Chain A
Amino acid sequence: MGEVMTAQGKNLPGDDTADLREIGFRSLDFSELALRVEDELEAELNFDAPGLRRIATVGDVLDFIEQLQSA
């Protein structure tokens, strides 16, 4: 997640409760992150939009990615 934000000249805050809108982490940034994880796993991570809409904080992103990886 930090790499995705750094590539855009932004910083990932240390606080997991940081609001994604406030730090400029958008849905496409999440897609980019998921695709990077896919590359590492060598498996597709497909998920629907409602699941994505529930994500609001940095912690939510990390939890969601973790769930996808373990699914």
Chain B
Amino acid sequence: MSEPSVIPPASVVLVSGGSRGLGLAIVTDLLTNGVKVAAFARTVTPELTALGEKYPDHLYYGSVDINDAQAGQAFVRAVETALGPIDGLVNNAAIGQDSLHVHTSADQLAEIITTNLTSPLVLTRFVLRRMLAKGLKGRIVNVTSICAQRGYPGLVAYSATKGGMDAATRSLARELGGRVLANAVAPGFFASEMSAVLGQTQLDQIVRRTPTGHLTEPDEVVPVVRMLLLDQTNINGQVLVVDGAASI
């Protein structure tokens, strides 16, 4: 039987894909709560740069392609030097999809799977190795999607990768018992994403079918991520859906 153990709040959190959208919102929220944060993305945005100027001692950021494992590992080492050992990881970086499976090339499938599944697992492995080698406990939050649990056209490969991350979350929780709390947060569709893909009629229909009457906003997901990283809970190996009950 596992010994009871308390996993302390994360103090240095690495956020992949932290330059815009939900990732940027998570970075901002953690900084506001006094947490040291490291963020990378393929492209550093003016918003992330501004945060770096506002929180020079608490934010370390840079341009890293998550599919470049060596660059990712070098970034992790640089973060350890700048902020201290990483004890929190938010796997947020991902690419979307908007193409029917039969019209998605094999190369595009491979790119989606590499970016959304393989690379986060490689990054997680590296961060965990550093964590365990230092005898640290920590927390992992994987940002997945309602697509992992419900079917949506045009998102076959994307859904497969998010389902893969949900499954990995559960196994990580088992494998790392007592050392790491591993959970996933599965947002519903964001208003911004949906409006880019769907027409107003379809948008209105989805909103009508959502009991809370509105699509998910990043600011509604951020508190859940914060809770999983900082609060004392016994939540482990779970996928928390944030979609206003649109999917039930």
Contacts and interface: CB of A to CB of B under 8 A. Distances in A.
Contacts of B2: 26
Contact of B132 (A8, A24, A28): A28
Nearest to B5: A8
A28 B135 CA distance: 10
Contacts of A35: 129, 132-133
Contact of A32 (B3, B132, B177): B132
B231 to A, nearest CB: 23
Max chain B CB contacts within 10 Å: which of A26, A32, A36, A39?
A: A32
B176 A28 contact: yes
B154 interface: no
A50 B176 CA distance: 17
Question: B-side binding surface: helix, strand, loop or mixed?
Answer: loop
B135 A4 contact: yes
A19 to B, nearest CB: 15
Grouping DSSP codes into helix (H, G, I), strand (E, B) and loop, the A interface class, with mixed when no group exceeds half, is helix
Contacts of B3: 24, 26
B179 interface: yes
A17 interface: no
A60 interface: no
B178 A32 contact: no
B180 to A, nearest CB: 9
Interface string B159-178: 00000000000000000111
A7 B135 CA distance: 7
A4 B176 CA distance: 16
18 contacts: A4-B135, A7-B135, A8-B135, A24-B3, A26-B2, A26-B3, A26-B178, A28-B176, A28-B177, A31-B132, A32-B132, A32-B133, A32-B135, A35-B129, A35-B133, A36-B133, A38-B133, A39-B133
Interface of A: 4, 7-8, 24, 26, 28, 31-32, 35-36, 38-39
Interface of B: 2-3, 129, 132-133, 135, 176-179
